[in-house]
């Protein structure tokens, strides 16, 4: 019962952000159908910086909004990666309870933000270069997130003709129910395993810590970032491993990505990139700080 209540509270915390975000996405989708204005393309070009800054805000709903926006191709995959890498979920509030770790907290948040910007722009640059030499440009553009309205996907609203607010309310209710059920299931599984299992899995003192911490961070639940941060506070996790684990800890964003985004292989590709980039940065940092 405690886990169900905690999952409900976590879901309710995200609602004040989800509802206005879905209203905005409905409006942008409408604008896209009637001809995307030039400012939307300019907004996408600066997306990774905005995504990194927004992801650094300790609010679990931002990654979910970014995933929903990417599923509608309102933002690029690079922007989504930037948000996911920059997001720390519950890590910042936990670290703020330990004043002697403020410097480490700022270093972690700053390193993740810089990595997010680099990864976001790097991904989008590679995508544009690859599209330039791809014969089937329309198909490639659809898969990589441009001109999504031309690919035959439906809008956010399940009932055409509904006002945007009703569409957004409908969407928010569906996502909230999905998040509550998913968070409860994942929370129950992690509670059954216990913190000792996470400690054993992370192999204190091993060079493999960043890779293992990255796997823990991929669990789409706030408990994963709390577990990583707790191990870092106890000294069982290196700074590099914490960077890798919190780099993949995108919270509930991963749930929304796999729920809404198609094709499935695209969601798997983004998740793999998130893991490889975060683990590589964490491993390099760990080796440099030895």
Query: Per-residue pLDDT tens for 222-245?
Result: 888 988 999 999 898 999 999 999
Question: What pLDDT, on a 0 to 100 scale, did the predictor assign at position 60?
Answer: 67
- Which residue would you say has higher pLDDT here, 204 or 19? 19
Q: Tell me: the pLDDT tens digits for 47-77?
A: 899 999 988 988 768 898 899 989 988 899 9
d(Cα 11, Cα 122) in Å, to the nearest integer?
Answer: 33
- Which residue would you say has higher pLDDT here, 109 or 196? 109
Entry pTM = 0.82
Question: What pLDDT, on a 0 to 100 scale, did the predictor assign at position 152?
Answer: 38
- Average pLDDT value for residue range 107-127: 95
Residue 147 has pLDDT above 50, yes or no: no
Residue 218 has pLDDT above 60, yes or no: yes
Residue 38 has pLDDT above 70, yes or no: no
Question: What pLDDT, on a 0 to 100 scale, did the predictor assign at position 84?
Answer: 96
Question: What pLDDT, on a 0 to 100 scale, did the predictor assign at position 251?
Answer: 85
The percentage of residues in the chain with a pLDDT greater than 90, rounded to a whole number, is 41
Average pLDDT score, the chain: 82
Question: What pLDDT, on a 0 to 100 scale, did the predictor assign at position 185?
Answer: 84
- Average pLDDT value for residue range 30-45: 60
The percentage of residues in the chain with a pLDDT greater than 70, rounded to a whole number, is 81
d(Cα 63, Cα 65) in Å, to the nearest integer?
Answer: 5
Q: Tell me: the pLDDT tens digits for 148-189?
A: 443 434 444 555 556 777 887 888 888 888 888 887 888 787
């Amino acid at each position: 019962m405690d886990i169900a209540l905690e999952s409900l509270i976590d879901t309710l915390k995200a609602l004040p952000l989800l509802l206005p975000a879905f209203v905005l996405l409905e409006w942008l989708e409408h604008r896209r159908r009637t001809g995307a204005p030039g400012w939307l393309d300019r907004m996408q070009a600066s997306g990774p910086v905005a995504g990194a800054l927004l992801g650094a805000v300790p609010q679990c709903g931002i990654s979910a909004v970014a995933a929903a926006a990417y599923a509608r191709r309102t933002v690029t995959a690079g922007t989504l990666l930037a948000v996911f890498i920059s997001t720390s979920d519950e890590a910042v509030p936990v670290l703020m309870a330990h004043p002697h770790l403020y410097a480490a907290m700022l270093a972690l948040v700053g390193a993740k933000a810089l990595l997010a910007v680099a990864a976001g722009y790097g991904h989008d640059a590679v995508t544009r270069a690859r599209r330039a030499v791809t014969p089937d440009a329309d198909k490639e553009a659809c898969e990589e997130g441009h001109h999504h309205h031309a690919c035959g996907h439906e809008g956010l609203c399940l009932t055409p003709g509904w006002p945007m607010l009703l569409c957004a309310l409908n969407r928010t209710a569906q996502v909230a129910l999905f998040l509550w059920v998913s968070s409860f299931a994942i929370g129950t599984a992690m509670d059954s395993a216990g913190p000792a299992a996470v400690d054993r899995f992370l192999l204190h003192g091993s060079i493999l810590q960043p890779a293992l911490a990255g796997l823990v961070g991929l669990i789409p639940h706030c408990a994963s970032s709390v577990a990583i941060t707790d191990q870092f506070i106890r000294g069982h996790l290196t700074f590099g491993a914490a960077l890798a684990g919190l780099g993949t800890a995108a919270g509930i964003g991963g749930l929304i990505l796999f729920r809404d985004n198609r094709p499935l292989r695209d969601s798997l590709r983004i998740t793999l990139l998130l893991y490889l980039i975060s683990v590589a940065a964490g491993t390099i940092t760990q080796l440099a700080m030895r």
